[in-house]
Structure 1
Amino acid sequence: MTYYVIYDGNCNLCVTSVQLLETLDKGKLFLYAPMQDEQTLLQWGITAQDCEQGMILIDGNQPQRRWQGSNAVEKIGRLLPAGSIFVDAYRALPGMKWAGDRFYEQIRDNRYTIFGKRSNTYQSSYCVDGSCKTGNEQF
Structure 2
Amino acid sequence: MHQAPLTRPDTSDSTPKTGDPKTNNFKEKNMHKAGGIIGIIAGVFGVFAALATLFVGGIDSAFNADGASTVVGLGWGGVLFSFLTIVCGAVVFAKPKGAGIALVISSILGAVLGGSIVAIFMALSLIGGILAIIGAKGYAQAPTRAAS
The alignment's TM-score, normalised by the length of structure 1, stands at 0.31
The alignment's TM-score, normalised by the length of structure 2, stands at 0.29
Larger Rg: 2
Higher strand share: 1
